[in-house]
Amino acid sequence: MLQRFKRIDGITVIVLLMLMGISILSIYSVTHGGDDKGMHIQMLQYYGAGFVVFFGLSLFDYRLLVKYALYIYILGIIILVLVSLFGTVKFGARAWLQVGSFSFQPAELFKLILILALSSLLVRLGRSQLRFWRDVAPLSLVALLPFGIVILQNDMGNALSFVVILVGLLWIGRIKTSHALIGLLIAGGAFGAFVYSYINYHEKTTDFLSGAIGREHFIKRFDPWLVPERASSDDSYQTRNARIAIGSGGLSGEGYLKGNSVQSGKIPVLYSDAIFAQIAEEFGFIGAAVLLLLFFVLIHRMILFALECKDKAGPFLIIGIIAMLMYQILENIGAYIGLMPLTGITLPFISFGGTSVLINMASMGIAMSVHLYGQDVEEELPAPAVYF
């Protein structure tokens, strides 16, 4: 055990500590003068628990999690159903379970559960090439079941992350190129048709979303993104002001605790999913670039862990975690520079939130476990091949 502890990757730990420092400083900046002061202390406590989880899972053999992934998946589905029945509504989504004074978001946890389940199934299939009806379709159903449950909870951000994880794992699982291209064409066509309909037939589309399927909450997300001129001032208030803050940061920023938009309270719930606006305004392009560089280093280290792993399950787990993190980073930042719809998804390791920090740290712990245990069992991985 001690020998494995000594082999924990120091660069990864340093990057996580730096992300913790950025998070606590950012949260202090946006909460120190108001009713939410003290949240940086809570975040420090969350990170303390997160590092315990990180080191604990790092020293735990990830192959046991893969072995019992099916049972973990079933338990996760049951918890998601309980959220639909008894969950607490926050920010328009029924996505939290409240236990006394403690609340957590099961959909965040299920992202990690889905990675385990799909990785386990891919290892059990042991295919050199995935077949559509016997492999791709069942794997897709495993992801689409929780996707449907979470969409019904109005939590679009986490629901879409399930699809991204599925796509990432199907790709490394060696889906046929022809199947991948067909899937991309169908998804791209459906997305293009939706965007075209939303812009050109806005009233009919929004009537369908709000009336037929009862998703008026989605309109508040799509309007500021696709038709900002039609969005109400309330719906576009957060993204518009966040974009102003990001742009006003310039090269080096306005200075810590000196951001005009950030310190004047023009952006609601800055400590949550809009935290990137504080970094960009007060630290400028340089600060934002440093943050993205830290994310890059973290992902690069995980790729190295996957390349050195001799066990089949390890690379699947790591690619799933990378897909999850990259989606969250791109979606969160993209939403506040006008490239993506606002879904309320947090910026990994930076935004305030106990569930988010614990799940992200647990993910890094599993990735580190692959680094520590993945070379114990040598297995021949199937050679990459392309079939049409």
Per DSSP, the residues of 11-37 read HHHHHHHHHHHHHHHHHHHHHTTSTTT
Sheet arrangement for strand 88-90: 88-90, 93-99, 102-104
Residue 257 burial (C-beta neighbours within 10 Å; 0-12, 13-18, 19+) = middle
Give me the pLDDT at residue 381, please: 36
Which of 47, 14, 55 has its CA nearest to residue 350? 47
Which value, in Å, is the radius of gyration of the alpha carbons in the chain?
A: 21
Q: Which of 72-81, 121-130, 186-195 has the lowest mean pLDDT?
A: 121-130
Which of 139, 138, 140, 145 has its CA nearest to residue 84? 145
Q: What is the dihedral of CA 235, 237, 238, 239, to 10 degrees?
A: 80
Q: Is the pLDDT of residue 206 over 50?
A: yes
Model confidence pLDDT, tens digit, residues 242-254: 999 999 999 999 9
Model confidence pLDDT, tens digit, residues 314-353: 999 999 999 999 999 999 999 998 888 888 889 999 999 8
Model confidence pLDDT, tens digit, residues 14-65: 999 999 999 999 999 999 877 778 899 999 999 999 999 999 999 999 999 9
Q: Which of 137-141, 202-206, 313-317 has the lowest mean pLDDT?
A: 202-206
Which of the listed ranges 125-129, 216-220, 307-311 does the model predict with the highest average pLDDT? 307-311
Average pLDDT value over all residues in the chain? 89
CB atoms within 10 A of CB 214: 11
Q: Which of 125-129, 205-209, 307-311 has the lowest mean pLDDT?
A: 125-129
Q: How confident is the model at residue 91 (pLDDT cuts 50, 70, 90)?
A: low
Residues 6+ apart with CB under 8 A from 104: 96, 97, 354, 355
Residues 6+ apart with CB under 8 A from 182: none
Q: How confident is the model at residue 296 (pLDDT cuts 50, 70, 90)?
A: very high
One-letter amino acid of 33: G
| Sign of torsion over alpha carbons 318, 320, 323, 325 | negative
Give me the pLDDT at residue 385, please: 39
Predicted TM-score (pTM) of this structure: 0.91
Q: What is the dihedral of CA 269, 272, 276, 277, to 10 degrees?
A: 0
Model confidence pLDDT, tens digit, residues 350-387: 999 888 999 999 999 999 999 999 877 644 433 333 33
Give me the pLDDT at residue 377, please: 63
